[in-house]
Each structure stands twice: as C-alpha cells, then as structure tokens.
Structure 1
Amino acid sequence: MGDFNLTVILDAIRRAPGGLSRVELAQIVGLSPQTISNISRRLLDQNLIVEAGKEGTGPGKPRTMLRLNPGGMYAVGVHLDPAVLTFVVLDLVGAVVKHSRIKTPSRTDPGSIIDTIAAEIKQLVEESGVDRSKVAGLGVASPGPIDLVEGAVVDPPLLPGWERVPLRDALAEATGLSTILDKDVTSAAVAETWAGGPSGAGSFVFMYMGTGIGCGVVLNDEVIRGTSGNAGEIGHIIVDPDGPLCDCGQRGCVKSSAIPQVLVAQAEAAGVLDGSRAERSAPAVQESFAELCALAYGGNDVAMDILRKSAVLVGRAISAVTNALDVDRVVFGGPFWTCLAPAYLEQIPGIVGENSATRKIHGIEVVGTGVGEDVGAIGAACLVLEHTLAPRSQRLLLEG
C-alpha cells in the first residue's frame, strides 16, 4: 500500500508542470496530510522530487512546491522499425538527454540487428554523461505482433526471419539493463501521455505512420493494450473494396493500399520514381518515399495525387476506429509522419468529421504528435518510467 501511495503522489506531481504543494497533494489524492508528508520525505531522500521554492498569494504562509527532479532517474529507449533504429536517453520528466538514429541493417537476421542495437545503446549512454546507476532500465518498441509474456517478437510482416525472437531477454543480457518490450504503436501512445502535453490527455488514438501503419489507443488517460498486448492492428481494415489484393485474401486493406511501400510502388508504376532500382529493403523504401514527398510538395501533380488518395484511405480507417472507440482526438506521428503531414492534415480532419457518428455531440481533433519524430523511442523509454513510477493496481496485491 505504501509503494502504491508513493506512485500516486509521484504521478500527481508529474502531471502538474508547475509543481504541487503538500496541501494541494492532499486535496488531489485524498491521503492524510501526515501520509503526504511522510511520502514526500521519502521521495526527497530518493532524489526523485525537489522542493522548488514557495508560492502563495492568499492568507497564510506561502507553500513549498514539490516538482520532479529531472536528474533523479533516467531511462533508455530504442525503437525498432524495419527502416530505422532510433535511440534516446530520457530524464525523469521525459526530456531527451541524448538521441541517435541509424539505418536498420539491411541484413534482417535478428542476431545482427540485436548486436547493432546493444552497441549503439552502450555508446549512447556513455556519450550522454548520465550516471549508469541512475538508469532505471531499457524500453524497446517493436513492430507487432509481440508476445508480452515471453518478451518475443512474433513474425512481424516487414521483418523477415523474426519468428518468435526473444528480443527482451536478448537485449537485457547484451546491455545489462532491465528491459521491457512493447508494441511500437503502444509505446508511441505512452510517449504522448507522458510527454505530449495537451495532445496526450483524455481519450485519443495515436496513428503511427512508419514502415507499417497501426494505432495506439488511450481511453480516459489509460493506455489500452488488449488481451495479448496487440491492440491497434488496423492493417486489415478494408478502405478500398476495389483495391489491391492483400495477403489476407481481402481487397483494399490498409496494408495493401496505403503503407509507404505501396505508395512507392504506385509512384514507380506512374513513372514518378525510378522503378529500375533493385534495392527493396525498408531503408530503401524510406529513401524513395522521402523522394516521392519532395516531388509532391515541389509541384508534381501525380506525386501529390498519390499522397492525397492515401490520405482518403487512411481517413476511412481512422473513421472506423474513432467511431468504435468514441475518442476526442486523433494524434499522428512516427518516422514517416513528417513527409505526410501537409497532405494528411489538409484532408483527414474533414473526412473524420464527416464520418463521425458523434459529430452532433463532440468534435474530433486531428493533430500531429507533441513529442516529435522520436516518439517511438521516447515511448519505449517512457515504458520504463511508467512501469517504475506510475500507479498500478498490481502494487496493491499481497504476496502469499
């Protein structure tokens, strides 16, 4: 109970950027002033919070404000995308201390990629200057599906050869850090709740635009993972009944109609991009996709039509999800979002609004992430902070 109350207080302080006094904490969390005082002392002794001056304009003496100590704890995050590996070191308030980004090795065998990740993590922590003893752990954001219990990646569509790879344990052994694995879209949603500001509050879906497309789900400030941790798999929502055949046997799924690989192929078929290039790896697709976007915004009408059509299809998928979940907001992010943002923000808000079942009751905001391009890796690091510091009902269970 004491540990749970500690995390409740820490979470309340975290959610108040200006800090909270002990009196305000008692009012918010419903604990006695003595309990608040005792737990505050523990948190101060652990250097997780600091006393940050006094405030107060009314009667009575000014109150001492409590805020998170950014240097009290750190977390490392890595985002495994088939095209790019992103790494961050976060402090306790979710600010990036150090980050790096490298291409995912063209050899997709797990051993090679795991070795690359472990070496980059070691270098990043050293270059950050962070005391390793204050690093709470490593979070890993991976394409799904995943096995949360085993910490394994289970045959993701765009990572050939990754069949039940025990990524969590392999990286824990290679780095010496306590490691947590979660889906990339879930990690991105966690990042938004921790570091996204207003866009990460309430109920929203996080549309992850990477080598694949998926969504993270947050309802009433709680990240929804589903029975096996694989919520948000929207690749087989049909958005174009007359569209291309998908490997699931249906036509016009998101996966077969709107992911970057498909858009690049459309551009090559239309003569907008050079279709003679033999390289078809995920990093090569990312480069071609960036070229497609540059052509579209540079005045190439065919390239822009390809992006606009994909916006319509993705808008249809989002409408299905928002109607099912009744959320306030759609947040876009991921490594391909920067390229897509101008075309998508021009069209998708209208599509979602027109198709909303609740449009006469409330609007649905469509925005870009408040976290930035590294949202997957930041979310992975936030997994560590969430696991270590956020109040969870499991903390109330008594062991026999």
Structure 2
Amino acid sequence: MPRGSNLERVSTFNQAVMLDHVRRSDSGISRVELVQITGLSTQTVSNIVRKLLDLGLINETGKISGRTGKPRTVLNIDPSSRFAVGIHLDPSVITFVLLDLAGSVVARSHVPIQAVADPDATVQKMSSAVDGLIHQAEISRDRVLGVGIASPGPIDQQRGAVVGPPLLTGWARVELRASLQQATGFPVFLDKDATAAAHAELWISEDRAAQHFAFIYLGTGMGSGLVTNGEVVRGSSNNVGEIGHFSTGPGGPRCGCGRTGCVGLAIMPAYLVGEGIAAGVIDAPFDDADLQNIAAQFRQLAAQADSGNARAAKILDGAAARLAWAVEDIANLVDVDRIVFGGPSWSPISKRYLGILRSTLANRLAVGSIHQVQVTGSLLGEDIAAVGAACIVLDHALSPRPEGLLLDGAVAGTSGS
C-alpha cells in the first residue's frame, strides 16, 4: 500500500493516501494506525484528518480501546459525501448506475439500445438518464465527481472514441467522451468494459487482498481485464485484453477473421443459442440482431442444461471446455493468482462453468506447482461494467497517484497538508 511523504509539496498526494487507507478499512481506522501505516508524522496525519473531516469525506464513528492509553477515535469513509455515475454501452442495452463513495449502487436504470437511433441521440439519452439518476437519488449535482463510460473495445483513448464496437453499427470512431462531457457538464472517462469490470473487482470486491488477477468478462461478446500489483493494466493504447481471437484448439466455428476456433465466437451467446436451436433444445425463432431475445434464449438454454437436458448440457459443456483453453493461456502468460469471471452472460452458466473450469485448469497451469490459482465468479452482478465505469471516476479523483503528486481537482478544496 502507498506510504506518504512529509514534504509540503506532496500534501495533496498525502490526503489521497490517507483517504485510500480509510476507504479500504472494513471496520474503520484510527489516527494512530494511519501514522503507523503511512509513515507520516502524527501532526501531518492530524492535519490531513481534520481537512478530510471538514470536506465531509470521512466521519468519526466511535472509539476503540487499546491495551494502553486512551481510547482511539475510529475514522470511516462517508459514503454519501461524493458520487460517481457509471454507464455501460452494450449492443443490447445501456446500463446506468450511481455509486456512492463506498462503492454501493444507490440508483440504476436501463435503456434498450433500440430506443436510441444513432450516436447523437444516444448521447442525449445518456445525458437525460444521468440527470434521472441524480434526481432519483435526491442529491445535488456538485456532489457528483464525474461520469465513466464502459464500452466494448477497442477504443481510442487519446480521442475518447469508440473505434468500431462489434454489433454497434454506425459507431465507428465516435468521440463519445467529448460529446457526453459537453451534454452533461461533468468530467467524462472512457474505458473498455472488461477493464472497467476489473476496476470494480479491485475497488469494491470483498477480496481486497487480491493484487494479481485476470477478469474474464462475458457479455454480448467477451474480453479480459488485468490487475497486477494492485493496479489495473491498460497497455500502450488502453486496449489490453482483446482476447476474442485466442485459439481454442483445432475445429470450432469459423470466425469472421477467417480462422476457426476463436474463443470469442465459440462461447458467444448468439452462437450457442444457434447451436441450441439446431439441436432442438430451443424452439423459438433465431434473430441474431435481437440481442435481448438472444439473452433470454441463452438463459433458457442454461436452464435446460441445469434441468438435465443432455443436448443443452453438451453444448454448454463444450463451450466451457473451449473457454478453459483460452483462460489457460492467459493465466500462464501473466502469472496471476486469481481468475475472476463475470458479466451479463456469466450469471446463467456460472455454476456449471465454474466446475468445468476449475477441474480443467487444475492440472494445466504452468504456475500451478508454485502457487495456487483461484478460479472464481464475481459477486458484483450483471451490471459490473457500469459499476466499474463509476469506480474509474472515483479512482481517478481520489486514489493516490505518485507520478502526479496531485489529485485531479475533482474533489474541490483538497489541497494542503
């Protein structure tokens, strides 16, 4: 964890360090503990705590008695002091969430993508939905730090543009960040949905000790987010995790890239639903453009497999085995100690896939003889990409950044020692 500095010029960084430690403490933390953890002087800690209290970012919530000395005052984050909006732009639905400082969702809404005709109309719909969340939560706009957008990749981070998301026609090179910033008046951040999901897992997962993990995001398509040493990895163009064309071995369906066995297609809900219809498991008609109906059919396929339908089980078990091929390569390449699965398409098949993935990967990981690699599902729900987009806003505004030594100004008045 970050340690502070007693130099006056990095005082704002010190505030971020202190706030980060308070936020990460499950049952609160005392000033004495902050001195011990950060390496800052008692006076510096006292001054910073007072400023954080004055800003309303933290609260004094009681006292605890130690073995010696007088009882210590417990400091906790004030969840209602600041908020962030997260938006997930998915080919089937746009999800909106409002997060408090503790990472809890206090308001949410969903808009079917069919309800908006084009990118310009979508931006206006997004802006209205952001206003709706703020009204729903009954908070003032000045307590909202900004808006995060999670989009299918790849993205052009420099321009704040979505490059050409699969299944989103008319979205090539749309500079979404600037358009939404102008429409809402808030700072706007853009990232990939899988990267945003990894952010959410890092920020608010119950397993706060996790420092090295890969997040496998399963939605309309798939992608991967990567965390090492407690930091989200983005790569040179912020497009880490484009794993859809990882090979699942010989055979498999022919991908649009011309090859066979690409994992992104082989485990795609639309492809598996098509397999289910061909096998007679699903009777409903198939329309690959109706993504909401495909999601419903995918849940039906999973329910059939869970109820003992052998044909449905064969389809999903084969998909899980193909997914294990790709995950094995990821785990061996980046040497993580956790592999986390999540996203809208994960929930229906989570129990079935976890068993297959764990048993398949148990003896195939190169690092397995050196350290354990935990394979698990996220507990953050189907809206994890939107939640992660909001976490990116919170992280940008409030987390310690040694390279900058200054907060971004999103929390007004936090300069000083």
The answer to whether the 8 A contact 1:190-1:379 is kept is yes
Partner of residue 172, structure 1 = 181
Range that drifts further, 268-277 or 130-139: 268-277
1:41 aligns with 2:46: no
Structure 2 residue corresponding to 1:269, chosen from 256, 264, 278: 278
Q: Distance in 1 between matches of 2:288 and 2:58?
A: 51
Q: Distance in 1 between matches of 2:321 and 2:227?
A: 24
Partner of residue 207, structure 1 = 216
The 3 A distance-change label for structure 1 pair 290 and 213 is: same
The 3 A distance-change label for structure 1 pair 372 and 81 is: same
Partner of residue 362, structure 2 = 353
SS of the residue corresponding to residue 207 of structure 2 reads helix
1:82 aligns with 2:94: no
Matches within 5 A, 1:172-191: 172-191=181-200
1:305 aligns with 2:311: no
Deviation at 1:101, TM superposition (A): 2.5
The answer to whether the 8 A contact 1:192-1:200 is kept is no
Partner of residue 138, structure 2 = 129
Partner of residue 118, structure 1 = 127
Q: Distance in 2 between matches of 1:145 and 1:256?
A: 17
Structure 1: which amino acid aligns with 2:402? S
Deviation at 1:193, TM superposition (A): 0.9
Q: Distance in 1 between matches of 2:133 and 2:261?
A: 42
1:8 aligns with 2:7: no
Q: Distance in 1 between matches of 2:176 and 2:346?
A: 26
Partner of residue 105, structure 1 = 114
1:315 aligns with 2:324: yes
Q: Distance in 1 between matches of 2:299 and 2:328?
A: 26
Partner of residue 163, structure 2 = 154
Structure 1: which amino acid aligns with 2:296? E
Structure 1: which amino acid aligns with 2:17? V
1:259 aligns with 2:268: yes
Structure 2: which amino acid aligns with 1:267? G
The answer to whether the 8 A contact 2:245-2:262 is kept is yes
The answer to whether the 8 A contact 1:199-1:369 is kept is no
Structure 2: which amino acid aligns with 1:269? A
Gaps of 5+ in 1: none
Matches within 5 A, 1:18-33: 18-33=27-42
1:236 aligns with 2:280: no
Task: State the identity %.
Answer: 46
Q: Distance in 1 between matches of 2:334 and 2:406?
A: 30
Deviation at 1:279, TM superposition (A): 5.8
Can you list the C-alpha shifts for 1:318-352, whole angstroms capped at 9, x where unaligned?
Answer: 11101111111111111111111021012001112
The 3 A distance-change label for structure 1 pair 302 and 256 is: same
Q: Distance in 2 between matches of 1:340 and 1:308?
A: 10
SS of the residue corresponding to residue 207 of structure 1 reads strand
Range that drifts further, 242-251 or 53-62: 242-251
Gaps of 5+ in 2: 1-9, 408-417
Range that drifts further, 291-300 or 180-189: 291-300
Q: Distance in 1 between matches of 2:291 and 2:132?
A: 25
Q: Distance in 1 between matches of 2:393 and 2:266?
A: 35
SS of the residue corresponding to residue 150 of structure 2 reads strand
Q: Distance in 2 between matches of 1:228 and 1:197?
A: 30
Matches within 5 A, 1:243-392: 243-274=252-283, 276-278=285-287, 280-392=289-401
Can you list the C-alpha shifts for 1:279-298, whole angstroms capped at 9, x where unaligned?
Answer: 62322321221222222223
Number of equivalent positions: 398
Partner of residue 411, structure 2 = none
Structure 1 residue corresponding to 2:77, chosen from 62, 68, 80: 68
Q: Distance in 1 between matches of 2:111 and 2:281?
A: 27
Can you list the C-alpha shifts for 1:18-67, whole angstroms capped at 9, x where unaligned?
Answer: 11111111111111111111111111111001111111231101111111
Q: Distance in 1 between matches of 2:69 and 2:171?
A: 63
SS of the residue corresponding to residue 172 of structure 2 reads coil
Range that drifts further, 250-259 or 229-238: 250-259
Q: Distance in 1 between matches of 2:93 and 2:183?
A: 20
Q: Distance in 2 between matches of 1:337 and 1:320?
A: 20
Range that drifts further, 42-51 or 296-305: 296-305
Q: Distance in 2 between matches of 1:212 and 1:53?
A: 47
Partner of residue 410, structure 2 = none
Range that drifts further, 301-310 or 195-204: 195-204
Q: Distance in 1 between matches of 2:190 and 2:173?
A: 13
Deviation at 1:395, TM superposition (A): 2.2
The 3 A distance-change label for structure 1 pair 279 and 228 is: closer
Q: Distance in 2 between matches of 1:49 and 1:58?
A: 26
Partner of residue 402, structure 2 = 393
Structure 1: which amino acid aligns with 2:113? T
SS of the residue corresponding to residue 359 of structure 1 reads helix
Q: TM-score, normalised by structure 1?
A: 0.95
Deviation at 1:5, TM superposition (A): 1.0
Q: Distance in 2 between matches of 1:285 and 1:126?
A: 33
Structure 2: which amino acid aligns with 1:211? T
Q: Distance in 1 between matches of 2:213 and 2:383?
A: 19
Structure 2: which amino acid aligns with 1:290? R
Structure 2: which amino acid aligns with 1:396? L
Deviation at 1:373, TM superposition (A): 2.1
Give 4+ residue runs of structure 1 displaced > 6 Å after superposition. Answer: none
